[in-house]
Chains A and B, each alone.
Chain A
Amino acid sequence: MSSPEVRLSAPTLKVLKLFIEAPRTRRSGAEISRLAGIGSGTLYPLLARLEGAGWLRSAWETVDPREAGRPRRRLYAITALGQTKTQDAFTDLQLVMGVPVWSS
């Protein structure tokens, strides 16, 4: 299956960096927005693109909205494909920039 092209813009790289730093952590949109400093208007189309390309997957958190008294969060996690693609992208960037992206 061929995945659609993902445009590696600065916000996309910020989001991918968050996930690649903690590949097992599942994060909600609000958390990603806060940590990456990206507004909702940019974040959700970006997450939808990454999910559509198979780089991220998402699932509802396992809480009962009635008991919790709030809507369920959608939690995103990076896939194996996403990890490989992100590492490739960051390696390419390191080659271009000459500095490790992780350290920035």
Chain B
Amino acid sequence: MELVKLFWASLVVCVGFAVTIFLGLVNDEVSAWLPVLARRIIQRAAAKLKEREDVDRYLEEWLAHLQECPGRLGQLFHALGVWQGAARMSKARHPQTLRIDVKRMLVATSIILAATIMELFSIKYDGVPWPILILYAVQIAGALVAIICAAKMLMKGRKYIEL
């Protein structure tokens, strides 16, 4: 009985010892990698700015700031902050616009118009509630307006709509 207790006690001590060593190694590893990770994040963040001049400037500026951050976690937080900030700066400098090709819009709307008209002819008028017919009429009118607008834009030489 005493022998079994001794065995379990030794096992607990051994496991505790192993866990301590393992956690120490993990701690060393994480501590060594955090600054590298922070630098990598900053490099990627600066690259988001696209223009060479901005990339070089902010990379140096943010790395200088990194050196002044207290602690490795502080450095990581700075790097993550910079990542978030770079995305905002990039968005402010290069606002994303939705670009619609007018020719494609014209083709797509014509197909929709043709399909709607064909559908309207295929259904039987008798017994179809009038609100449904009004919906068809609205759809056809909308498509016609879009086609006319697109055609006018193409005649004026405007190939894209930017939103």
Contacts and interface: CB of A to CB of B under 8 A. Distances in A.
A and B held together in a complex: yes
B68 A71 contact: no
Contact of A49 (B60, B65, B81, B92): B92
Interface residues of B, number: 23
- Secondary structure of the B side of the interface? helix
B81 A39 contact: yes
B92 to A, nearest CB: 7
Interface in B51-94: 57-58, 60-65, 67-69, 77-78, 80-86, 88-89, 92
B65 A40 contact: yes
B57 A40 contact: no
Interface of B: 57-58, 60-65, 67-69, 77-78, 80-86, 88-89, 92
A72 B57 CA distance: 10
Contacts of A70: 64, 67
A70 B64 CA distance: 7
Decide if the interface of chain A is mainly helix, strand, loop or mixed: helix
Contacts of B69: 30
Contacts of A40: 62, 65, 78, 81-82, 85
Nearest to B63: A71
A40 B79 CA distance: 8
19 contacts: A28-B64, A29-B64, A30-B64, A40-B65, A40-B78, A41-B80, A41-B84, A41-B85, A42-B81, A44-B85, A44-B89, A45-B89, A48-B92, A65-B60, A71-B61, A71-B64, A71-B67, A73-B64, A74-B61
